Structure formats: structure tokens, C-alpha cells
């Protein structure tokens, strides 16, 4: 396995793969290799039949969604083609057809109730940045002090998904919370601009993504909000509520860092404004006569 690990490290280093993507690939590859070990199948003898059986295992026994299984397929394909140097037959290992689902988007009042419930200043600063700027959980966790620019009211996100960099807006309300948080958690003269904005238990490491996710779950449950609401929901709310406020989709695309505008336009199906002003034909003539 050490030999495989060195090849994986080399590929990631040459490609400049983001840490979050590296972690995801490794986790899924290890899960597959663990399955192979239980089946007493040597890695060197792996073939398409083994992969097919694993996909069925993920679908039928683990009950994973098509999108999640496709992520596993991508990781296994990388291991199969690059590490084992075998040919990949997409006809034998097809990607699963995804059923389009819309994310849970709570109302503004529900989002504000979540923020108001947050008494911990550090947690509140994280949440207002995620909702006010449309950040992913991993992005807010890896922010540095220098990434917040109060003069231009922008937030800089480096090494984001797809290995991209971008800017998004900084909310005035979020800036006030950040200043309160900064005064409480940072001592003048004992930090530099390259330090983590939200350090973990050690200043050398940023706050763990799971810590943020678990915090939001606890807050959600304490308020009694829908169990489908997660940390990523705040990013969905940013996009949906911005559309409702009349922000052009192309600007939202830039702030969210979407590669394709079509991804951003998905939120048009969620926003209530997309149906406002549309009259039902049943009401056109005042409805049928009783």
C-alpha cells in the first residue's frame, strides 16, 4: 500500500489538487480497498467485476444516493487507471443517472432565528460569513485574517473547489460580528495577517469542518428547524435570497464560484420570486361559477 500511496501523493502534487479533494479521494479509495480485502481479492487482480459488485454494495446495502456513488466511481477510476495503470471501460462501469433534487432552503426568518440562537461569537462569525457571503464550509474554515477586506467589503477565497480563486461580498452586519469576535479572540501584537481567522484547538490549524457542521446541526435542532438543514444550506440560502432580491444570476455565479451558469440557474426553481406575478388560468376569469 505504501507504493500506491507514494504514487497518489505524486499525482496530487503534480496536479496541485486541493487538500479537501485529496481527503475525499483517499477516503473513498480506502473504503473500496477495505471492501476488496473483506472479499479476499488482491488489489493487483482487481477488475471491472469487482468494481461493479462494490457499486451494487453501495447502492443496495449502504443506500447511497446516485451523486455520492458517482463520486466513489471517480475515485476508483483514478486508482484503477493511474495507480494500477489499467484500461477503464465506461460501458461496464457506467455513472449512475442522477435524479435532480432541490436543496432545502428555509425562509429568511428561519435563517435569522438560527443566527440569533448562536451565542458563541466565533460560531456566529462563521455562520454570518457563510450566509452573508455564500461560502462553503471548507472555505470559511480555511479563511485567513488577510482574506477579509473591510475597505472594499470583499472576502477573498483561495484554493477553492476546482482549484480556483475568487472574491465575494462582505456583509456590513457580518463585519460588525467579525470585529466583535476579533476583539475577543485576538490579542494585539500576537497575530499576523497570514494567521487562520478561525483557528482550531491549536493556532497552527484552522477549525475543523466537522466542528462547523456539528455546531449547525445542534443549533438547528435547538430551534426546531427541518432536519434536512445542514451547514451547506446557508450557501443555498445566500443564492436563493439574492435572486429574490433581484441580483443578476451571473453575479451570483461569480460570488459562489460556480464553473457553469446553469448550476446557478438551478436556484431559479427554488426562489418564490420565480412564480410571483404568474396567474393561474383558473383565476383568469374569476374562477368557475358556483
Catalytically annotated residues? 136, 161, 232, 235, 258, 267
Q: Answer whether 17's CB lies under 8 Å from 64's CB.
A: no
C-alpha span between 24 and 31 (Å, rounded): 11
Asked if 205 and 199 touch (Cβ cutoff 8 Å), the reply is: yes
CB proximity list for 276: less than 8 A, separation 6 or greater? none
Q: Do residues 160 and 136 lie in contact, with contact meaning Cβ atoms separated by under 8 Å?
A: yes
- Taking 3-state DSSP, the helix, strand and coil percentages for the chain, each rounded to the nearest 5, stand at 60, 5, 40
144 forms bridges with which residues in the sheet? 196
Rounded to whole angstroms, how far apart are CA atoms 21 and 130?
20
The per-residue DSSP string of 160-219 comes to -GGG--EEEE--HHHHHHHHHHHHHH--TTS--TTSBSSB-SSTTSBPPHHHHHHHHHHH
Sheet of 166-169: strands edge to edge?
A: 148-149, 154-157, 166-169
Q: Check: CB of residue 202 under 8 Å from CB of residue 233.
A: no
Give the whole-angstrom CA distance, residue 153 versus residue 27.
Answer: 37
Amino acid at each position: 500500500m505504501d507504493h500506491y500511496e507514494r504514487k497518489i501523493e505524486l499525482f496530487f502534487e503534480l496536479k496541485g489538487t486541493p487538500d479537501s479533494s485529496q481527503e475525499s479521494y483517499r477516503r473513498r479509495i480506502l473504503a473500496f480497498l477495505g471492501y476488496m480485502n473483506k472479499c479476499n481479492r488482491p488489489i493487483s487482480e482487481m477488475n471491472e467485476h469487482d468494481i461493479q459488485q462494490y457499486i451494487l454494495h453501495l447502492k443496495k446495502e449502504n443506500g447511497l444516493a446516485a451523486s455520492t456513488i458517482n463520486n466513489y466511481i471517480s475515485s476508483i477510476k483514478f486508482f484503477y487507471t493511474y495507480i494500477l495503470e489499467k484500461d477503464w471501460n465506461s460501458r461496464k462501469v457506467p455513472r449512475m443517472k442522477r435524479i435532480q433534487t432541490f436543496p432545502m432552503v428555509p425562509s429568511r426568518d428561519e435563517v435569522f432565528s438560527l443566527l440569533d440562537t448562536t451565542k458563541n461569537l466565533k460560531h456566529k462569525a462563521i455562520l454570518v460569513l457563510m450566509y452573508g457571503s455564500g461560502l462553503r464550509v471548507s472555505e470559511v474554515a480555511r479563511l485567513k485574517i488577510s482574506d477579509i477586506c473591510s475597505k472594499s467589503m470583499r472576502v477573498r477565497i483561495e484554493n477553492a473547489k476546482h482549484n480556483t480563486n475568487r472574491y465575494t461580498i462582505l456583509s456590513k452586519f457580518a463585519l460588525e460580528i467579525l470585529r466583535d469576535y476579533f476583539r475577543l479572540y485576538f490579542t494585539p501584537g500576537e497575530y499576523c495577517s497570514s494567521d487562520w481567522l478561525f483557528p482550531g484547538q491549536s493556532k497552527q490549524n484552522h477549525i475543523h469542518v466537522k466542528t462547523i457542521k456539528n455546531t449547525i446541526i445542534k443549533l438547528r435542532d435547538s430551534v426546531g428547524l427541518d432536519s434536512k438543514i445542514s451547514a451547506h444550506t446557508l450557501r443555498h440560502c445566500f443564492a436563493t435570497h439574492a435572486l429574490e432580491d433581484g441580483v443578476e444570476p451571473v453575479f451570483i455565479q461569480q460570488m459562489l464560484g460556480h464553473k457553469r451558469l446553469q448550476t446557478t440557474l438551478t436556484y431559479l426553481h427554488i426562489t418564490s420570486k420565480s412564480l410571483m406575478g404568474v396567474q393561474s388560468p383558473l383565476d383568469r376569469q374569476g374562477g368557475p361559477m358556483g
